[in-house]
Amino acid sequence: MDKALMSVLEPRVFAIGLERTGTRSLARALENLGYSVTGQNGPLNRPRISKVYRDVAIRTSYKAEAFYGNPWPLVFQDMSRLWPNAKFILTIRDPQEWVASMAKSFGGTQTHIRRLQYGHGDPVGQEPQYIERMIAHETAVREYFREAPSSFLTMDITAGDGYKTLSDFLKKPFPEDGFPHEST
């Protein structure tokens, strides 16, 4: 079967965890399982991002089989309606470790997408608000997929979830090499 047809038949996989929760490691694992993977597409730091990110996501969702990074956590409901056979993976992480990683990685910089997502573009000095938004996101995702457990998986990669969990969920062969850890 040709790759274009496989792309249409293969269910889309959306990594809908927030950045710094193992999404890059998950993306690499999905590539290792044979998925064409794409991350952020288009400039997500433009002032009008709140008006265009959904359209960017919809267009991008036709270009690959698996997706990670922004804006996917913001559009999981849209993608669920657009791709009813899709699989959704919520990557999670200890909130204190996560916010420390956010501050280390992004402290001192502002982006419009982070402002949209967390209420403030720079995590430094906004740690409680970031954690609040993280918890709210995870709660909303779990509630949304409560009635669709076969299309939803939660993974804590930093706590050791890996290929067995992912392969069982996606019904893909279990790779022999270790689960990738891109950065934490």
66-112 pLDDT, tens digit each: 999 999 999 999 999 999 999 999 999 999 999 999 999 999 998 88
CATH superfamily membership of 3-165: P-loop containing nucleotide triphosphate hydrolases (3.40.50.300)
Handedness of CA 137, 99, 103, 179 (dihedral sign): negative
pLDDT tens track for 113-166: 899 999 999 999 999 999 999 999 999 999 999 999 999 999 999 999 999 999
How many Cβ atoms sit within 10 Å of the Cβ of residue 126?
Answer: 20
Can you name the residues that pair with 66 across neighbouring β-strands?
13, 37
pTM: 0.91
